[in-house]
Amino acid sequence: MNNVSTVNAQKPESGSIERTTSLSGTVEPSDVVYVYAKAGGDVTSVLVKAGDVVEAGQLLCTIDTDQVENAKNSMDSASVSLSEAESTLSRMQLLYQGGDISDQEWEQYQNKVKTAKLQYESAKLNYDRQVEYSSVTAPIGGKIESCDIEVFDQVNQNTQLCVISGEGDKRVSFYVTERVVTNLNQGDAITIKKNDTEFQGTITDVSTMVDETNGLFKIKAELPEANAIATGSTVKVTVVSDRSENVMTVPVDAIYYDGGVGNVYLYEDGTVHKQQVEVGLYDSERAEILSGLEGDEMVISTWSSQLYEGSTVKLKGETDGDSEGTGAPAQAEDGTGGPAGQGDGGSEGHHGGNGAAGEKGGQPGNAPGKAPGQQQ
C-alpha cells in the first residue's frame, strides 16, 4: 500500500457563484447644470472662474443684449398707449353718463383700454425677461467646473457659459454589453478603483436603450464616499456580470477536461471512478455543475497521479496498514514526507503539484488513461 495516494474528497455543495467584469468609467457629479446664454450679445462682466463655489441665485456674468433696448422701447410705447386709452375713457365716461354716446360706443372705449393694458403687460414681461437674460445667475449652488467666457466676448443664444456641479455625492457612468446589462439592476453594488484605492457604489440607473455612439448600454451609479476623486477622472469599475444562485457546486480544481469535456473523479470505497459532468458558471474557487452528479457523491478535490478509472486511493484520515507494519512515517497529503531514499512519495507529490498547475486553467488535453496533468 506504499504507492497508494492519499486524496481529499467531499460531496457537492449548494451555493451561489458570481462572475465579475471590469470596465472603465467616468466620475461626474450627481447634479450637473450646464448654463447657457438665453440671448445673444456682448459679455460685459464675468464674476466667477473655474473652481469657485457659488450659491443658488448668485450673479455669474452680465450680457449686453440687443433685445433689452428693443424690449424697453416696446414697453414704453405700450405704456403711452395705455395712458392715452385710459384718458380717453375718462372723458367718454362723462359723455356716456350724459347720454351723448351710445352703449356700443362706450363699450368700444372700454375694450381699447383693456387691449392697451394687455399690450403693456406683455411688453413689460418681455422686457423683464430680457433683463433677466442679460444677468446670468447660478440655478443651483455648487462648484464652477468650467467657465470659458471673458469680458467683451460675443455670445449667441444657447452658447454654453459655464458648468456647475452640485454639492452632493458624485456618481460614475460606464457602458456595458447586452449580455452584462441583463444581470444588472438598480440597487446592485459595484466597486470602483482609482490609484489603488477602492470605493463602493450603488447602481441607480440602468439604460434600456442602446447608445447611438458605441452600441452599448449606459449605467450610472452613486459614489457616496468618493468626493476625493476629481470630476472627469477615469476609474476601474467592477460589476457582477453573471450570477447563479442555489446551484450545485464543486471545487473548481476538481474538474478536469478531456477533449473539451468536463470530468470529475469520484471516490467510492477506495476506488476511483471517472464521471463526465456539464460545467456552468465558475469563479476562482467553485464551479457550477449543471448535470452529471446527483449530489451525494464524494468528489476528489486533490490531484494525484493515481487518478484514473478503477485506480485505488486512500481517503485522508484512513489508516495506512502497511505503513504501520513497517514503522514508516505516515505519508503527507501531498505525497511527500517519506524518509530519504523513498522517492515514490516525493516524486508523486512533486508531479502532483505540476499536474495541478497544468489543470487549474481548465485546459483540455489529458490523454485517455493517464492521470490529469501527467506528462506523456
Residue with cell 449580455: 179
pLDDT surpassing 50 at residue 88: yes
Question: Hey, what's the cell of 75?
Answer: 414697453
DSSP annotation string for 212-277? TTTS-EEEEEEETT-TTSPTT-EEEEEEEEEEEEEEEEEEGGG-EEETTEEEEEEEETTEEEEEE-
CATH number (domain holding residue 323): 2.40.420.20
Write phi, then psi, for 19 (nearest 5 degrees).
-115, 135
Is residue 374 a part of any domain in this protein?
A: no
pLDDT band at 70; cut points 50, 70, 90: confident
Is residue 27 a part of any domain in this protein?
A: yes
Amino acid at 9: A
d(CA 30, CA 47): 25
Total number of domains in the chain: 3
Q: What is the mean pLDDT of residues 9-32?
A: 89
Mark whether 144 and 53 lie in a shared domain: yes
pLDDT tens-digit readout, 234-274: 999 999 888 888 999 999 999 999 888 999 999 999 999 99
Q: Could you give the 3-state DSSP secondary structure of residue 22?
A: strand
- Which residues are bridge partners to 203 per DSSP? 221
| Residues of the chain above pLDDT 70, percent | 83
| Residues of the chain above pLDDT 90, percent | 48
CATH number (domain holding residue 108): 2.40.50.100
pLDDT band at 2; cut points 50, 70, 90: low
Residue with cell 459614489: 223
Q: What is the mean pLDDT of residues 356-372?
A: 37
Mark whether 170 and 160 lie in a shared domain: no
| Domain carrying residue 307 | 5-17+246-359
Q: What is the mean pLDDT of residues 140-153?
A: 90
pLDDT tens-digit readout, 158-176: 899 999 988 767 889 999 9
Mark whether 292 and 354 lie in a shared domain: yes
* Triad 272, 274, 277: Cα angle to 5°: 140
Tallying the residues shown for the chain, one arrives at 376
Mark whether 264 and 322 lie in a shared domain: yes
pLDDT of residue 304: 84
* Triad 186, 241, 357: Cα angle to 5°: 150
- Across the chain, mean pLDDT equals 81
Is residue 344 a part of any domain in this protein?
A: yes
pLDDT band at 319; cut points 50, 70, 90: low
Query: What pTM does this model have?
Result: 0.49
Q: What is the mean pLDDT of residues 327-334?
A: 39
CATH number (domain holding residue 184): 2.40.30.170
